[in-house]
Structures are given as C-alpha cells and as structure tokens.
C-alpha cells in the first residue's frame, strides 16, 4: 500500500506529487502521458510565476523534464472509482486496483455538461471506464459518447465487443470505422430507462441500448468518489484541501473557480502537506 494515490496529472496532481516525492513518501499518480490537455492546448501562458510567455506545449515539455528528473512516472490509467474503506482507500483503474493510505483528487473539471440521466444510471448501464466494464456488454448494443480523440482506442475496444455501437464523437475529425459502428454527429439529450438503461435520446428519437459509455477527460467528482460532498459540481474543501472524507484531499480546478494554473499548483502543494500531516498522525 502506498502513502498516497493521486488522481490526475495536471498541475495540481503534479504539484502534489513533487511535494510528496521531496518528502520521501510513496505514491502513484494517474493521468495521461500528455499530462493535461488543458496545459497542452493553451496558446500562450502569461500569468504563471517564473515562466513568462510560454506556450502550453513548452509548459508540458518543462513539466515532463521535471517529472523525469524527479523520477516520477505517470500511470496512464483512467480511474473509474475511488472507494473509502475503514483505514485505507482503493482506487480502481481499468482491471487494476490500488491501495493507498490517502488520496489527492486532482482530476480537473470537464467542460461538457453531464447528460440528463447520466448520474442516475451510473452503475446501472452507464459507465466511464471501457476497460473496467466493457466485457459486460459483449454482443450487446452500446452508445459511446466521447469527448476526445485520445479515447478512440477505447471506442474501438468497445465496438469490437458490442454487436452494435452508436458513437457520438464530440470533437472534430473523428476516425472511427467498423461495420457495426454508426457515427452520430449530435449530442444525445438524455439517457432513459427504468431499473437499468434502456435507451439514449437523440433529437426526437430513442435508440434502444444496453449500456452507455461516457469517455471523457474528467467525470464529476461525486460520480468518482461515493459519499464525497460536492457543491455546484465542485468538491467542497477547507483551506487545507480537506474534504468531508478523512484522508481524501482535493486540489485544482475540481475544487472550484478560478480555473488557473497557479491556484492548481498551490492547492496541490497544500493537499500534499495535508497528506503528510495526516500520515504523521496515523
């Protein structure tokens, strides 16, 4: 079991990781090899102390150098759930699960609004994790909503299992092919069903499906962590980045506005010091 499981490889997660590393603590950090699309996509950054006028790509390159020098490797795995146990946490990522004494949630915020019914049917036909739940839908009909080309391999994986896949790419230039794949260019408005998902609503039409996969950069914190207190879609934290769950801290955009690199870095640092304090008190 590691000291801390960090969910998110943006500025907040990286800041927490660097501080824990400097203090000799063990951790895993989950995210993507590009670190964060929100850094990568920034045209020019003018307001980050010490880095005047860098592009997002240059910023990512600097961060990668820093992580490499500190011997920190990001696990390119999507966390599907964080479970608070009596005296530890379990993080599920794909087929793997990881145990940690604490968690820092630094998963950012998703710009795409949740679809009506998404949270209601989560675990009852709605899933955020292709590798965790895909096998449950072998030979079935799926709707796959995807916000980034980064997840196209997951779409291919799901379409390979399903008999029929309705794919909703919410980005330009989607390259998904397959005899059983139907590409739909509009956002579904609602997920409907009774005990489980029955259909997805597209315009006036209901498409009968057995499951809905939502492949996106960040999911709502409440959906990721059961029992977590949220307000307006953000994690409720105090000045020490503590949440209502003992041992679970949150940092960065997921705790609320302003959405800024400097705030994310600061909170990642605060969350890491709260982790150190928590571990010292155990």
64 CB-contact burial (10 Å; exposed 0-12 / middle 13-18 / buried 19+): middle
Q: 36, 127, 141, 274: which one contacts ligand FAD (CB under 6 A)?
A: 36
In angstroms, give the least distance from the CB of 244 to ligand FAD. Answer: 19
Of the pair 129, 199, the CB lying nearest ligand FAD is at: 129
Residue from 263, 265, 261, 269 nearest 46 by CA: 261
Q: CB–CB of 67/128 below 8 Å?
A: no
Of the pair 8, 100, the CB lying nearest ligand FAD is at: 8
Binding mask 153-192 for ligand FAD (x = CB under 6 A): ----------------------------------------
In angstroms, give the least distance from the CB of 208 to ligand FAD. Answer: 28
Q: 9, 127, 220, 274: which one contacts ligand FAD (CB under 6 A)?
A: 9
Alpha helices in the chain (DSSP H): 11-22, 37-40, 56-69, 130-133, 152-161, 221-224, 261-281
Contacts to ligand FAD from residues 106-145, by CB under 6 A? 106-108
Of the pair 14, 158, the CB lying nearest ligand FAD is at: 14
- The beta strand positions in 129-281, using DSSP E, are 141-146, 164-169, 181-183, 190-193, 197-202, 205-208, 211-215, 230-231, 234-235, 248-250
67-73, long-range: CB within 8 Å, 24+ apart, which pairs?
67/14, 67/17, 70/17, 70/18, 70/21, 71/21, 72/17, 72/18, 72/21, 72/29, 73/29
Binding mask 52-91 for ligand FAD (x = CB under 6 A): --------------------------xx------------
Q: Interface with ligand FAD includes 243 (CB under 6 A)?
A: no
Of the pair 79, 130, the CB lying nearest ligand FAD is at: 79
Q: Interface with ligand FAD includes 12 (CB under 6 A)?
A: yes
Cβ of 246: how many Cβ atoms within 10 Å?
A: 10
What φ, ψ does residue 71 adopt, rounded to 5°? 60, 45
In angstroms, rounded to a whole number, what is the distance separating the alpha carbons of residues 207 and 191?
A: 10
Q: Interface with ligand FAD includes 6 (CB under 6 A)?
A: no
Q: Interface with ligand FAD includes 256 (CB under 6 A)?
A: no
In angstroms, give the least distance from the CB of 164 to ligand FAD. Answer: 27
Of the pair 166, 261, the CB lying nearest ligand FAD is at: 261
Tokens standing for residue 33: 């090899």
Task: List interacting residues with ligand FAD (CB under 6 A).
Answer: 7-13, 30-32, 35-36, 38-39, 41-42, 45, 47, 78-79, 106-108, 217-218, 224, 252-253, 259-262, 264
């Amino acid at each position: 079991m590691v000291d801390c499981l960090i969910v998110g490889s943006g500025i907040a997660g990286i800041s927490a990781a660097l501080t824990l590393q400097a203090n000799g603590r063990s951790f895993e950090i989950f995210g993507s090899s590009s670190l964060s699309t929100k850094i990568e996509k920034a045209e020019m950054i003018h307001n980050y102390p010490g880095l005047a006028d860098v592009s997002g790509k240059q910023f990512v390159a600097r961060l990668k150098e820093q992580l490499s020098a500190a011997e920190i490797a990001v696990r390119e795995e999507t966390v599907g759930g964080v479970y608070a146990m009596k005296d530890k946490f379990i993080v599920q990522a794909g087929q793997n699960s990881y145990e940690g004494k604490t968690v820092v949630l630094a998963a950012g915020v998703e710009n795409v609004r949740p679809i009506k019914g998404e949270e209601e049917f989560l675990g009852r036909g709605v899933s955020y994790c292709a590798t965790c739940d895909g096998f449950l839908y072998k030979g079935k009909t799926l709707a796959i909503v995807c916000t980034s080309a980064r997840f196209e391999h997951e779409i291919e994986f799901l379409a390979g299992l399903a008999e029929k896949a309705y794919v909703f790419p919410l980005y330009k230039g989607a390259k998904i092919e397959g005899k059983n794949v139907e590409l739909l260019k509009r956002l579904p408005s609602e997920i409907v069903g009774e005990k489980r998902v029955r259909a997805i609503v597209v315009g006036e039409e209901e498409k009968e499906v057995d499951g809905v996969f939502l492949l996106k950069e960040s999911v709502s914190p409440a959906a990721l962590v059961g029992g977590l207190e949220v307000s307006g879609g953000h994690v409720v934290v105090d000045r020490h980045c503590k949440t209502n769950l003992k041992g679970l801290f949150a940092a960065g955009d997921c705790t609320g506005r302003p959405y800024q690199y400097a705030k994310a870095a600061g909170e990642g640092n605060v969350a890491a010091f709260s982790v150190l304090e928590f571990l010292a008190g155990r």
